Structure formats: structure tokens, C-alpha cells
């Protein structure tokens, strides 16, 4: 009986260690071929409780290094999903740029700028529009990334190009938000994204 109990304790401990080892592993298995030249900035807006876009932004920063800036509204959207739908629709339709916490550094110092947004109504979220309107993008290299609910990147890239005249745009990354969350919660093995998706993408655009 004692031996049985001992074996049980050993098995349970090993199982726990294995589980936590897996659960904590959020490291990419792929390697970045080349770090970006110059100074990099990763900017993002993320609204939902899952913080899908923030997670992808962190995966990018993990690879590129550089500065990180979260776009935050001075008066955030309400927490309820329906209220966000309504308020952001009004902003979109009326072309309202909601006030955000200012970015206190100089955009002209950066050589490569990643811009991330959830896809809302087929494009970037209004607070991202506020950020874009706050700087001169001439000759800057911009890299869009987004998370979405299944509709893909929509008009994000073309709207970004229109909002940032004179900028050079590199190919963007669009990730289904629920797949990011599945990854973080380790719930599903069928549909989950890992930081590898970011490394694969960066290896294509940074040469
Ligand atoms: C106001 C609103 C509008 C949305 N519009 C779209 C859309 O047009 N297409 C789409 O695929 N997903 C849409 N979604 C889903 C979000 O893009 C998706 O959940 C995203 O991953 C959320 O990112 P976050 O966690 O960083 O906020 C919308 C969500 C909200 C709240």
C-alpha cells in the first residue's frame, strides 16, 4: 500500500511539473533570421478582455526589441460588447477620432514601426486612427498587424496607406483572435497560433 501511495505521489508530481512546464511555454520554436536594422517601435491598440492584439504585439516585441506603446483612450469604450459596437460604429460613421494618451516620443526617430489593431467594422479601430493622425509618416516604414473575428484584415492595409501618405508599407500579419486566446489558455490543439507565426512572418519581411 505504501509503495502504491509513493508511486501515486511521484506520478502526480511529475504530471504537475509536466503540465506547468507546457503551460508556461510560450516561446517560439523558430529562429529569427535577422533583427531589423535601426530603431523599432511596436504600437498597438487592444480592447477586448482577451487582449488578442496585445498578445501578438508582445510576440513581435519579443523578436524585434525596441520601444513599445499601447494606444489608450482618455475615455475608454465601455466594457459591454454591444456598447463598444455601438460607440465605435458612431465614431467610424462620423469620422470621430477619440482622444488618446499622447505618444511623447518622436516618430521621426524610428526606422521601422509596427502598427497593430483589432479589426473593427472591417478596418482599424478609431483610436488607432487618432494615433495615425498625430504624426508625419513621410518616408517611414510601417508594418500592420491585426487580430480579427474571422473576417481577416478587411480594408486595414489600404486604409492605413491612405491615412499615412508618403509611408512605405510592408506586408501585414492578420491573426484570428480566438486562435491567439486558445493558445494562451491551452484549450485547443486544433486551432492555436504560437509566436512562431510571428517569426515566420518577420523572416519574410525583414531581409
Ligand atoms: C466593435 C467591434 C467590431 C468588430 N468588427 C469586426 C470585423 O469587422 N471583422 C472581424 O473579423 N472581427 C471583428 N471584430 C472582432 C475583433 O476584431 C476580434 O475579437 C479581435 O481579436 C479583438 O482584439 P483585442 O482583443 O485586441 O481587442 C469586432 C469586434 C468589435 C468589438
| Per-residue pLDDT at 96 | 96
Residue pointed to by grid coordinates 498587424 = 145
Question: How far is residue 49's CA from residue 56's CA, in Å, rounded to a whole number?
Answer: 14
Gap between the terminal Cα atoms of the chain: 63
How far away, in angstroms, is 170 Cα from ligand 1 center? Answer: 22
Low-confidence ranges of the chain (pLDDT < 70): 1-26, 182-191
| Per-residue pLDDT at 71 | 98
| Per-residue pLDDT at 195 | 87
Residues of the domain holding 84: 29-205
How far away, in angstroms, is 17 Cα from ligand 1 center? Answer: 36
Residue 116 lies in a domain: yes
Residue 140 lies in a domain: yes
Which sign does the torsion angle of CA 155, 158, 164, 167 carry? Answer: positive
Q: List the CATH number of the domain containing 42.
A: 3.40.50.360
Whose C-alpha lies nearest to ligand 1, atom 5? 120
Residue 1 lies in a domain: no
Residue-wise pLDDT for 24-54, tens only, equals 346 888 999 999 999 999 999 999 999 999 9
Between the CA of residue 195 and those of 29, 32, 122, 156, 188, what are the distances in Å? Answer: 8, 11, 24, 22, 16
Question: How far is residue 154's CA from residue 148's CA, in Å, rounded to a whole number?
Answer: 9
How far away, in angstroms, is 88 Cα from ligand 1 center? Answer: 11
Total domain count for the chain? 1
| Per-residue pLDDT at 205 | 96
Around Cβ 189, how many Cβ atoms within 10 Å? 7
**DSSP state for residue 120 in the 8-state scheme:** E
| Per-residue pLDDT at 95 | 93
- Using a 10 angstrom Cβ sphere, with 0-12 exposed, 13-18 middle and 19 or more buried, the burial of residue 112 is buried
> What three-state secondary structure class fits 100?
strand
Between the CA of residue 140 and those of 34, 74, 135, what are the distances in Å? Answer: 20, 27, 11
| Per-residue pLDDT at 180 | 85
Site to substitute for ligand 1 among 91, 119, 155, most atoms within 8 A of C-beta: 119
Amino acid at each position: 500500500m505504501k509503495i502504491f501511495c509513493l508511486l501515486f505521489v511521484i506520478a502526480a508530481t511529475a504530471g504537475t511539473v509536466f503540465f506547468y512546464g507546457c503551460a508556461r511555454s510560450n516561446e517560439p520554436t523558430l529562429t529569427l533570421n535577422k533583427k531589423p536594422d535601426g530603431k523599432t517601435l511596436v504600437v498597438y491598440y487592444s480592447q477586448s478582455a482577451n487582449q488578442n492584439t496585445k498578445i501578438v504585439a508582445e510576440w513581435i516585441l519579443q523578436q524585434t526589441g525596441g520601444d513599445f506603446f499601447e494606444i489608450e483612450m482618455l475615455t475608454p469604450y465601455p466594457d459591454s460588447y454591444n456598447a463598444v459596437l455601438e460607440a465605435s460604429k458612431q465614431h467610424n460613421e462620423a469620422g470621430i477620432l477619440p482622444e488618446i494618451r499622447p505618444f511623447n516620443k518622436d516618430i521621426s526617430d524610428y526606422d521601422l514601426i509596427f502598427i497593430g489593431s483589432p479589426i473593427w467594422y472591417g478596418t482599424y479601430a478609431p483610436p488607432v486612427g487618432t494615433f495615425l493622425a498625430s504624426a508625419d509618416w513621410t518616408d517611414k516604414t510601417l508594418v500592420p498587424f491585426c487580430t480579427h473575428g474571422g473576417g481577416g484584415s478587411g480594408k486595414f492595409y489600404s486604409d492605413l496607406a491612405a491615412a499615412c501618405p508618403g509611408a512605405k508599407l510592408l506586408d501585414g500579419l492578420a491573426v484570428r483572435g480566438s486562435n491567439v486566446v486558445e493558445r494562451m489558455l491551452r484549450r485547443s490543439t486544433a486551432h492555436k497560433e504560437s509566436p512562431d507565426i510571428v517569426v515566420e512572418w518577420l523572416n519574410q519581411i525583414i531581409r
